[in-house]
Amino acid sequence: QITLKESGPTLVKPTQTLTLTCTFSGFSLSTTGVGVGWIRQPPGKALEWLALIYWDDDTRYSPSLKSRLTVTKDTSKNQVVLTMTNMDPVDTATYYCAHRHLNRGWFDPWGQGTLVIVSS
């Protein structure tokens, strides 16, 4: 059974850097084809895809946020870390991580999400 769980600060100040961790079980990020994605959802709004990292360290980013995002993995800890710089109140959202396989493409399953509020 695959599970994922996001963790990180609930409150960050404008201009600060956000660091979120996705801790997962039931799969390995050293297995060919496996990936983890990040998706966010502002309150009351739609889902927005942010980033992906694959087993081979290949990374993909949303073009509109690419300059602010970094995603890394720690295979030994079964963790993926998302870093977003220069946080702004518009970045207030629930942040999700999700499992993805290169040969299948869809996100399944998802973590429960973690709410991040950007406010001074």
Partner 1 sequence: EIVMTQSPGTLSLSPGERATLSCRASQSVSNNLAWYQQKPGQAPRLLIYGASSRATGIPDRFSGSGSGTDFTLTISRLEPEDFAVYYCQQYFVSPLPFGPGTKVDVK
CB-nearer residue toward partner 1: 16 or 49: 49
Question: What Å distances lie between residue 120 and 15, 44, 88, 89, CA to CA?
Answer: 10, 22, 10, 9
* Spatial distance between the Cα atoms of 66 and 60, rounded to a whole number of angstroms: 9
Residue (of 94, 84, 87) closest to 120 by Cα position: 87
Instruction: Determine which residue in the list 17, 25, 112, 119 makes contact with partner 1, applying CB under 8 A.
Output: 112
- Judge whether 43 and 93 are in contact, CB under 8 Å: yes
Question: Site mask, partner 1, residues 32-61, x = CB under 8 A?
Answer: -----x-x------xxxx--x-------xx
Please tell me whether residue 23 binds partner 1 under the rule CB under 8 A: no
Question: Site mask, partner 1, residues 87-106, x = CB under 8 A?
Answer: ---------x-------xxx
Please tell me whether residue 5 binds partner 1 under the rule CB under 8 A: no
As measured in angstroms, the least distance from the Cβ of 56 to partner 1 is: 15
As measured in angstroms, the least distance from the Cβ of 15 to partner 1 is: 26
